[in-house]
Amino acid sequence: MWTEDDIRFMREAHDLAKSAEGRTTPDPMVGAVVVRQGRIVSMGYHGEVATPHAEAWAIQKAGSEARGATLYLNLEPCCFFAKRNNPPCTEAIINSGIRRVVASMKDPNPLVNGRGIAKLKRHGIKVEVGLLEKEARRLNEVFAKHITTKKPFIVMKTAMTIDGKIATRTGASRWVAGPESLRFAHHLRNTYDAILVGINNVLVDNPQLNVRLVKKVKNPIRIVLDAFARTPVRSKVVSHPGGKTIIAVGPKAPANRVKALEKAGAEVLKLPAPKGLIDIKALVKELGKKKITSLLVEGGGEVNASFLKAKEVDKAYFIIAPKIFGGREAKTPVEGEGINLPRQAVWLKQVHQEKLGEDILVSGYF
């Protein structure tokens, strides 16, 4: 069904879309390529939120050459008037004279979800859907999760030794993995909306939780699970510039500590905290209400265990360094109660492996 040229032009659209990774939230990443007589005449991508949509931008640049051309898109064009003054892209396509549209996938947004395709077809435009669909779904996995569930796409990232330790028996953890893995971790921070750690991480390591090792820095929202509001007002996550900070506290958090954190500039989010632990499902629901579409969990073993127990993790990155710490008291990536039998194990699916310098990166979905 698809020609080599179709695949080549669609890959170009995917690459354009990905160039804005982490900067379009809560919108999807979209790339558009206008092709006429086997030649690319213009390209566009959705650069960041509130900027022109990819299709409209590519069509505008194509001008009269859009008439009779083919438009390649990684996502079905929208068919509603956005609140940010972006008109429906279907109108721009219809008015341009484009005769064929190739899209990788339907838009999962309930306001679209096939309506854009149907409208184009009603105006005599040939529409084909499904080219590189698997890649397209992965490209916009954050958008698809949030727009259909109103919850953030949640990624768990952890680095461990080859014997499964995230710190020595004394609690020292800098650095478990190598420099390439550290750069990869900052790439993830630069990609997702928010980053989360537990209070122990703040008290022991005093991290900044910002982005430092990549270009085009976009610092994530910093979130701390802190049931009793123990976060020091002078800790880096509160006092250092680099993005908004949310402290999730429980009902027993001392009022004076809460007030001090708010005065220092942090937002305090009050949530249920059974047994002194923040209710993860309640947290995820509240973050979704705040239009946080993605969350990177960089917590310790207990934090990771709490997210897994709540079944609120979509994807995981495990970085394995070729070193050994040993020790019965040394922490592991997932603590908690654990399971009784091997058959009860939580499995990763669609597993992928690659090298990061001397380390091994294993990723997958739940």
Question: What single letter denotes the amino acid at residue 132?
Answer: L
Q: Is 298 a catalytic residue?
A: no
CA-CA-CA-CA dihedral for 54, 55, 56, 61, to nearest 10: 90
Residues 304-323 as b/e (b if ≥16 CB within 10 A, e otherwise) read bbbbbeeebbbbbbbbbbee
Nearest CA-CA partner of 221 in 307, 122, 137, 287: 287
Q: What is the Cα–Cα distance from 185 to 174, expressed in whole angstroms?
A: 14
Catalytically annotated residue among 55, 65, 76, 298:
55
- CB hemisphere CA count around 161 (13 angstroms): 19
Angle, CA of 63, 67 and 68, to the nearest 5°? 145
d(CA 194, CA 242): 12
Please name which of 255, 332, 269, 324 lies closest in space to residue 299, comparing C-alpha atoms: 332
**Would you please indicate which residues are annotated as catalytic (active-site) residues?**
55
